[in-house]
Amino acid sequence: MEKRYTVITYGCQMNVHESEKIAGILEEMGYVRGGEEDAQIIVFNTCCIRENAENHAFGNIGALKKRKKEDPDLLICVGGCMMQEKGMPEEIKRKFPFVDVVFGTHNLYELRHLIEMKQAGRKKILIDIHDKEGEIIEGENPSRTSYPNAWVNINYGCNNFCTYCIVPYVRGRERSRKPEHILSEVEKLVKEGYKEITLLGQNVNSYGKDLECSMTFPELLDKVASIEGEFRLRFMTSHPKDFNEELVKVIAKHDKIPNLIHLPVQSGSDRILSAMNRRYTSGEYLAKVKMLRFYLPDAELTSDIIVGFPGETDEDFEATMRLVKEVDFASAFTFVYSKRKGTKAAEMENQVPEEIQKKRIMSLIELVNAQTRAKSEKYLGKEVTILCEDYDTKKGMYLGRDEYGRMGYFKSDRNRIGDWIRLKITDCSGISLYGEEV
Ligand code: SAH
Ligand code: SF4
Ligand code: F3S
């Protein structure tokens, strides 16, 4: 009988891609992808960016207690960012002693070895966490799940230490992959038929700063975009402090790079931006948006915004609302500030009460949604090209995104995943567009 595995992922694209690497390791061990119900190995790839991400993981790991009792051969592994938090592996051991293996983000490549050690008859939970990031591991063989998109790491870690954020503590210092490794991976993926490549880094603009050969992110992007083949080239995330004219010129030079920039602003208040250690002012952010629209008048922006950061007053929040109106984001991820142990902001006074945070997030979501809807309505009657990426079983429709990240739905009686589709938009709802193939 086939042995099955499943990987349960929380968090960002970085984690989604790391789960593909975990899947690759398990497949090399002879396991086949399966559902949670019939898997003999279940791996949790956790996230600790906000408290609710952790609570989800705790809940779902805890839910396996009964099944593990009935089936002692079931192997439960827990890895990811949460495990890099001080004291967390011990907490897992205390709360869920039935877990088999605990590993971290810095030793994912050892998973096979850890599983084999556990399977060799070790009774107790096996915990192996590396406190420090090691050398970059090349030659991994991810089992990709996001065709026609392929994720490609360009740099790992973060040195920015925004005061609210736990990522620098759990992902270590910035380190870049060598350009030749990135270029050959992308060339291979394009040859294999991937139609969208997304370059990944916590701050892609820091790319190359630690390399012996001199290479900046715009230079790398230019080289990747020059690879032959029909594909879209996306990247995330750009830190506004490092977003510059050189990068915008590369975007303008290549048709392969969509004119859509994810540029997380976090707040519109200079006082809060400074307390967040973001190292730009709202004025500087707006000047960069202006510069982007000078070179690319049709460019769209998306963002991440936090409300309820310690000390945020009504005036600070109003400044965020004003900035959102001024930039007119195509869409934005909005978050309520979540206190993360070990970060500077967790020690700050004036933590904002929950009721106020809730009120603010509701107003912000309402504003962002209204802007998104207004942009959707402009699509009515127009034609767009989407890259079909999935099938929505509930709607009974295929879906894909246009270059600005707009989701377009359409009906077809054959599998269209991976096809470029020209759609005439006939209807819209929120961020979603509906259309007919032309
Ligand atoms: N490296 C990326 C993404 C980091 S995490 C960047 O710098 O943009 C994604 C988003 O989560 C952040 O942009 C921020 O908006 C949000 N975030 C991070 N820490 C948070 C916290 N403690 N509470 C609420 N939101 C947080
Ligand atoms: Fe976190 Fe800031 Fe680094 Fe992004 S840039 S990962 S928000 S510390
Ligand atoms: Fe990503 Fe969450 Fe880790 S957002 S880097 S998976 S803490």
Ligand 2 near 260 CB (within 6 A): no
Instruction: Look at residue 311 and tell me if it is in a domain.
Output: no
**Pocket of ligand 3, candidates 81, 105, 155: which has the most ligand atoms within 8 Å of its Cβ, to mutate?**
81
pLDDT at 239 over 90: yes
Q: Answer whether 333 contacts ligand 2 (Cβ < 6 A).
A: no
Question: For 328-346, how does the pLDDT look when each residue is reduced to its tens digit (9 = 90+)?
Answer: 999 999 999 999 999 999 9
Question: Whose atoms come closest to the Cα of 200: which ligand?
Answer: 1
Q: Which is more confidently placed, 104 or 123?
A: 104
* CATH number for the domain that contains residue 120: 3.40.50.12160
What CATH number has the domain bearing residue 425? 2.40.50.140
Whether 431 maps to a domain, the answer reads: yes
**Of 128, 156, 189, which residue sits at a domain end?**
128
Q: Is residue 313 part of a domain?
A: no
Confidence of residue 397 (pLDDT cuts 50, 70, 90): very high
Query: Is 24 part of a structural domain of the chain?
Result: yes
Q: What is the mean pLDDT of residues 68-78?
A: 95
Q: Please determine, for residue 143, whether its predicted confidence score (pLDDT) is greater than 90.
A: yes
Q: Is residue 259 part of a domain?
A: no
pLDDT at residue 121 is higher than 90: no
Distance 53 CA to ligand 3 centre (A): 9
CA 16 – ligand 3 centroid, Å = 10
Name the pLDDT band for 122 (thresholds 50, 70, 90). Answer: confident
Is the distance from the beta carbon of residue 49 to the nearest atom of ligand 3 less than 6 Å? yes
C-beta of 14 in contact with ligand 2 (< 6 A): no
30 belongs to a structural domain: yes
405 lines ligand 2 (CB under 6 A): no
Domain-terminating residue out of 112, 128, 144: 128
> 291 alpha carbon to ligand 2 midpoint, in Å?
23
Nearest CA owner, ligand 1 atom 9: 304
325 found inside a domain:
no
Residue 431 has pLDDT above 90, yes or no: no
Q: Which of 49, 81, 158, 267 has the most ligand 2 atoms within 8 A of CB, as the residue to mutate?
A: 158
Domain that holds residue 87: 4-128
Q: Is residue 234 part of a domain?
A: no
Burial of 53 (0-12, 13-18, 19+ CB in 10 A): buried
Compute the mean pLDDT over every residue in the chain, rounded to the nearest whole number.
97
Q: Is the CB of 257 under 6 A from ligand 3?
A: no
Task: Please give the distance, rounded to the nearest whole angstrom, from the Cα atom of residue 410 to the centre of ligand 3.
Answer: 33
Give the whole-angstrom CA distance, residue 119 versus residue 121: 5
Given pLDDT bands bounded at 50, 70 and 90, which one contains residue 214?
confident
pLDDT of residue 311: 98
154 CB under 6 A from ligand 2? no
* Residue 280 CA to ligand 3 centre (angstroms): 23
Q: How far is the CA of 12 from the centre of ligand 3 (A)?
A: 5
CA of 13 to the centre of ligand 1 (A): 13
Q: Ligand 3 mean position to 11 CA, how many Å?
A: 5
pLDDT at 37: 92
Q: Whose CA is nearest to atom 2 of ligand 2?
A: 162
Q: What is the atom index within ligand 3 of the atom nearest the CA of 171? A: 5
Q: How many domains does the chain have?
A: 2
Q: Predicted confidence band at 283 (pLDDT cuts at 50, 70, 90)?
A: very high
Q: What is the pLDDT of residue 64?
A: 97
Q: Which of 79, 101, 128 represents a domain boundary (last residue)?
A: 128
Ligand 3 in reach of 332 Cβ (< 6 A): no
